[in-house]
Each structure stands twice: as structure tokens, then as C-alpha cells.
Structure 1
Amino acid sequence: MNGKRNWPARGTWLITALALASVTVGCQDTGGGTGGANPKPGKSAGSSKAPGKGKESAKPSPTASKKPKKPGKGTSAGALTCEGLRDAALQTSDFRFPDAPEGTVAFTDGRWEGDGVVIELQPQCGIGDMTGDPAEDAVAAVKVTTGGTGKFYGLVTWRNDSGTPVPVAAASLGDRTPVQSIDVSTPAARQATVVYLTRGDSDPAAVVTIRRTAVYRVTEPTMTELDHSDAPYSP
């Protein structure tokens, strides 16, 4: 009789266990429960695209303006000019000009006057290399008039010192020997060709009978004549 009484309880337990097993299997089939089957892998919203050729980065555009060229020889803003000599120094504490009185002498508009002496810058002038540095120099004629009849002509070389003409060498041509032209040759030669009027040793001082072409080179503080050639001259 004890076995008959326990039968319904056992049967009820068996039916409950089968029902729970069926529910568990159903949840696994639908993948809705925890630990169920994972969904099929797909592209994640944040995943990157497969590697491939992307757009090339833009190359930097060339600068519109080119770098300025370096100034060439003799083309700087501080280049000497013949006109610029009209207010240049002629005689300093470091340089003496032949036939000029002692002391500092500087032109004002091409002229200096003192102690009965008048010194005038002449129009004959040449620009070019005479001293061997990169900046071009200036060579010009100068006339010194004293209280008498003398009119003494000379040559001066001004070095270009950062745009300022500085007298460094000179030569005296003598009394009443006007200069006709000055030509500064190519930079390699560093020479000045000067044409001026003069006379023979036996000719009177009041006349000129020779047109002389002379070549000078700077040997500071003088301008040294290298050679010359003469041709007859008559006014």
C-alpha cells in the first residue's frame, strides 16, 4: 500500500521535469536566451573598410613668389656713381691729394674752396673695379686752381665702402693738362685708361701739343702709370 500511495507524486515530478526540458530546448532553438547561439557575424557599424587605394594626399602647391636673386657684382643698391662723387671726400686724415692744401677737403656740389685755392671735380669719370674687391670703384679727374695761373689736374680713385666713396689713390698730371676721357677696363684688368692733353719737354707751358693715352693701376696711395702712347695734337 505504501508503493501505491507514492506513485502519483513520482508521476507528477516526471511530467514537470519533461516540461522544463522542453522549454529549455525551445529557448536554445530561438537563440533568445543567455548563452544561446550567437547571431551570424556581420560588418560592425564601426569597422573600417577593407584596405585599398585611397585618395592621394594633396601635394603642397609651390610658393607663388620665388626667392629674390642675390645681387650680382656691381648691382647693389650702394653702387658708386659719377654723380655721387660731387659730395664726396677728396682729402682725409688718411689720404693726401697732390696739389691740395693740407687739411680735410670734401666736395660740396663738386667744388671746394679755401685758402685761395679752388678744387673742382671734372666731368670725366669711369666706374669699375680698381681695388680688387667685389664692389665697383670710381675714377675721376680733379682740377686744382691756385692764386696764380696754375691749373693742376689730377686723377683720383674712390673705393666703394658700403656705398660711400672713399679716396684711396691719386696721380698728378701736371699744370694745364686737361683730361678728355677716363675708361675703366674689365674687372680682370683693374686698369683705367686716361686720355689727356699735355706737351713736350721743350714746349711752352701755355700750349698743349700732345694727346696722351696712359694706363693706370692703383697702388695705394698712388695711381701708377703702366705705359702711355702719344699722338700729335693741335687746338
Structure 2
Amino acid sequence: TLIDGKFEGEPFVSGGTSRPQVTLLAEPIAYGDLNGDGRTDAAVILASDTGGSGTFIFLAAVESQDGAPVNVATLPLGDREQVKSMVIDNGRLVVTMLSHAESDPACCPTLEATRIFQLLDGEWIDIEG
């Protein structure tokens, strides 16, 4: 569970300072109906730091359940991918991002990509990307 947009786990090693962290990125966030129920949902980006050199990026679908936001689906996008924009159009999520080309160093993706996702039965489906 995120508190104020952040989760921090127990140290990897007893007494250690390195611990898993997940952070909700402030942007981009897309709002619209992802599941066809007529209510506004959100697509958000989460960044996970597991103590190594990578920052793993995830796409999450958030629905309102009893007035509270609930993560209903999460999909890994990759290590240090950069999501530039997201928009929900007719129940589909269009994501513009920078991914890694074969020759890119891990730090610096350069491959511009547009991926289209749909939320089906509680799972993200990559329908174009």
C-alpha cells in the first residue's frame, strides 16, 4: 500500500539501510474510463527501486472502489524506461515513451515508442506496441 505516494519496505538485510521502495510518479497520469463501468479511472506510473542500479517502471490501473483508489492491475514496462505522456481514449490507454534501443546504455533510453494498452478482466493487455 502506498502512503502519500510511497511504499518503503523492510531492509533487505537485518540492520541494513538498503530497502525496497516504490514511488508514484506525479506525472504523467491519465484519467478516463478503463473498464467500461462509466466511472473515471486512472493510469499511473510507479517506479521501483530494489537497491541496485536499476529503477523499474510499472504501469498501474487505479479504480475507485467504495470511494478509495485501488490498484487493480500492474504491468512492468522496463528498467529506466521514460513515460512521456498517457491518454485514455475509448477505454484504451495510449502511452508515449522512450524505450531502450539495442545500443542504448541502461541509463539512457532513446527509442521513441507508442504503446496501446487495454484493461481486460483486471489485466493490462498490450494491444499495440
TM-score, normalised by the number of residues in structure 2? 0.85
Q: Which runs of 5+ in 2 are unaligned?
A: 11-18
Quote the Cα distance in structure 2 between the aligned partners of 1:120 and 1:212: 23
Distance, in Å, in 2 between the alignment partners of 1:222 and 1:122 is 21
Partner residue, 1:122: 25
Bigger fraction of residues in strand = 2
The C-alpha deviation readout for 1:9-59, integer Å capped at 9, x for no partner, is: xxxxxxxxxxxxxxxxxxxxxxxxxxxxxxxxxxxxxxxxxxxxxxxxxxx
The one of 201, 205, 209 aligned to 2:110: 209
Could you tell me whether the CA contact under 8 Å between 1:168 and 1:220 is conserved in 2?
Answer: no
Contact in 2 for aligned 1:169/1:220 (Cα 8 Å): no
Amino acid at match of 1:212: A
1:3-82 correspondence runs (5 A): none
Q: Over residues 60-88 of structure 1, what are the superposed CA-to-partner deviations in whole Å (9 max), with x where a residue is unaligned?
A: xxxxxxxxxxxxxxxxxxxxxxxxxxxxx
User: Displacement of 1:213 after TM fit?
Assistant: 1.2
The alignment's C-alpha RMSD in Å is: 1.4
Q: 8 Å contact 1:127–1:136 — kept in the other structure?
A: yes
Higher RCO (CA 8 Å, separation ≥ 6 residues): 2
- Alpha-carbon deviations, 1:99-134, whole Å to 9, x = none? xxxxxxx11111111131110001211110001112
Aligned residues: 120
- Alignment partners' CA distance in 2, 1:161 and 1:111: 20
> Map of 1:1-235 to 2, 5 A cutoff?
106-115=1-10, 116-123=19-26, 124-185=28-89, 189-228=90-129
Higher helix share: 1
1:202 Cα deviation from its structure 2 partner:
4.3
Distance 1:158 1:208, change over 3 A: same
TM-score, length of structure 1 as denominator length: 0.48
Q: Where does structure 1 lack aligned partners over 5 or more consecutive residues?
A: 1-105, 229-235
- Corresponding residue for residue 17 of structure 1: none
Specify the structure having the higher radius of gyration (Cα).
Answer: 1
